[in-house]
Amino acid sequence: MTIRTRLTLWYSSLLASVIIVFSVSLFSLLNWTWREQLLDTMRTAAKAVLTDIKFDHDTGSITTRYLPTKLSSLIYSPLAIQVWRLDGTLAATNVPEFPAAFDQQSMNVADAQWREIDYDGVRMIAYTQPVLNWSNEIVGVVQVLGSLESLNETLSRLVRLMIAVSVVALVLSFMVGSVIAAQALQPIDLISNAAREIAAADDLSKRIPYEGPPDELGQLTNTFNATLERLERLFLVQRRFVADVSHELRTPLTTIQGNLDLMRRMGDDPISRAAIEGEVKRMTRLVGDLLLLAQADSGRMPLRETVVDLDSLVLEVYNETKLIAEGVDLKIDMLEPVRVRGDGDRLKQLLLNLVTNALKYTPVDGKVSLNLKKTEGYAYLSVTDTGIGIPKEDLPHIFDRFYRVDKARDRKMGGFGLGLSIASWIVEAHRGRIWAESEVGKGSTFIVQLPAYAEDIPDSAKETRIRIPTIRRTPVHNPPAVQPPGSSTIPSASSRGDSGRSPDQPS
């Protein structure tokens, strides 16, 4: 059963329930109202007759000013009226053709009452009113008879009319509801057909067209298109990832195979053995980096959060990388005490990746400087080099996996294009941001912004931290509104914007 049919049936069932409840309530109300009106008329007639009754003080009997068998037919002519004495004789009536009492069971009642009876096969209401003398003694009764035949006939016509109207209303509602449901669900049919076409053509670049209002279906279409866009991007990234990994593994495997062939022909060769060991270590590093990123993507790598003295960590990394600088002037230009909350090992890995990356692309006699500054609740760490620089068109992609500006040079230096991707993940995992500023031929600056530990934040800056936007998975790099901590201007509230805009969001 289709959704359109189900919606139509639900709508029709709801309408049928409403009609039934309304019809039963209307029928009950009219039946009660009309019966009460008939009873009120009968009570009024009985009271009018009581006012014309006279008592015989000698005999205690009752008489009327009317002839005993001709109670005025001008008084409530639709009703049959009888006046009975206590001894069972008829004092007056307007229906002499019915000499028997209308309701024999109520001849000796002490209070007024009414009952439904069958009189000669006709459904009637008999109202009995006792007649009292001056001593409040019962000396007779007045009985009024009213027919329910017209009332029942009216109610029967009403029932037939309500049934007919209900059937017509249900048929019309089913037809109209089916048309409305078809029009309302037409965009869903378009979405379903477009999805089938995309699946059949295996083309994730297609999108679902929608020109309707921004209602639930519009939101569904936008969500579906966004999902297709994300799937297309992930598919392209995965395809490039597989191609890059295959290429990276093919090179060391070719080297290993060549050296093994050489050793098989020439015997054990220390040079070939060292080359094989180097390529094995290179592949081990590649597999380790890929495993780290895979675990990070799956969320199965929890961080051991502690309070970390970031300035001590910078000094530790500086002392370790000083030994491998090889002619590059590595120094610390600015170092302020600042603590952050995070995983010390991962933060050290972040610093090592940035510093080694700067040393790799800085020529001999070049300079690499480290800077650490705390400003308004944030720790700003920058690594600046005087290396070859990064072209402007490559800046948005330098944190992508396996992306290298100069692929031949990077491969010669032993890089895989994963170091900055790992650095980006570490920063995002610590609720921070990373971006780069560079100029070809003059060098590059990588800037990391991390939330400072809460106890180190002044009260005036704590609210600024609360307004940090959600971290985006793909960082935006090279924002013009932020200066690195080592430059002449330190980022302030005015430069970042009081509206909570992050440093990687240009104004």
Q: Collect all residues with Cβ–Cβ distance below 8 Å to 418 and sequence separation of at least 6.
A: 286, 289, 290, 293, 401, 402
Domain with CATH 3.30.565.10 in the chain: 306-496
Q: Which residue has the higher pLDDT, 134 or 332?
A: 332
Which architecture characterizes domain 306-496 according to CATH? 2-Layer Sandwich (3.30)
Task: Give 133's pLDDT tier (boundaries 50, 70, 90).
Answer: confident
- Residue 61 binned pLDDT confidence (cut-offs 50, 70, 90): low
Report the top-level CATH class of 216-298: mainly alpha
Integer Cα distance of 441 and 386 in angstroms: 8
180 SS3 class: helix
List residues bridging with 116 in a β-sheet. Answer: 125
Asked whether the predicted pLDDT for residue 149 surpasses 90, the reply is no
pLDDT tens digits for range 373-428? 998 889 999 999 998 888 888 888 788 766 666 554 444 454 556 778 778 888 88
Residue 159 to residue 166: CA distance in whole angstroms? 10
Domain with CATH 1.10.287.130 in the chain: 216-298
Q: Which helix (H) or strand (E) holds 58?
A: none
CATH second-level architecture of 3-155?
2-Layer Sandwich (3.30)
CA atoms within 13 A on the CB side of 422: 26
Among 371, 490, 348, 358, which residue's Cα sits nearest to residue 430?
348
pLDDT at 299: 58
Residues of the chain with CATH 3.30.450.20: 3-155
Residue 46 main-chain phi, psi, to 5 deg: -65, -40
- DSSP conformation class of 404: -
Q: Is the pLDDT of residue 502 over 70?
A: no
Span 299-323, mean pLDDT?
A: 84
DSSP category for residue 119: E
**Identity of the highest mean pLDDT range in 71-80, 209-218, 253-262, 309-318:** 309-318
DSSP code of 454? G
Residue-wise pLDDT for 171-202, tens only, equals 888 888 888 877 777 777 777 887 787 777 77
- pTM for the whole structure: 0.44
Lookup result for tokens 């009581």: 50
- The angle formed by the CA atoms of residues 431, 433 and 436, to the nearest 5 degrees, is 165
Give 331-373 pLDDT, tens digit per residue. 999 889 999 998 888 898 889 889 988 898 888 889 999 999 9
Does residue 328 contact residue 362 with C-beta atoms inside 8 Å?
yes
Percent of the chain at pLDDT above 90? 9
- Position 294 scores a pLDDT of 66
Q: How far apart are CA 483 and CA 491, in angstroms?
A: 6
- Which residues are CB-neighbours of 485 under 8 A, at least 6 positions away? 334, 371, 372, 373, 375, 380, 381, 382, 447, 491
DSSP bridge partners of 329:
367
Phi-psi region of 487 (alpha: psi -120 to 50; beta: other; left: phi over 0): beta
Chain center to CA of 498: 30
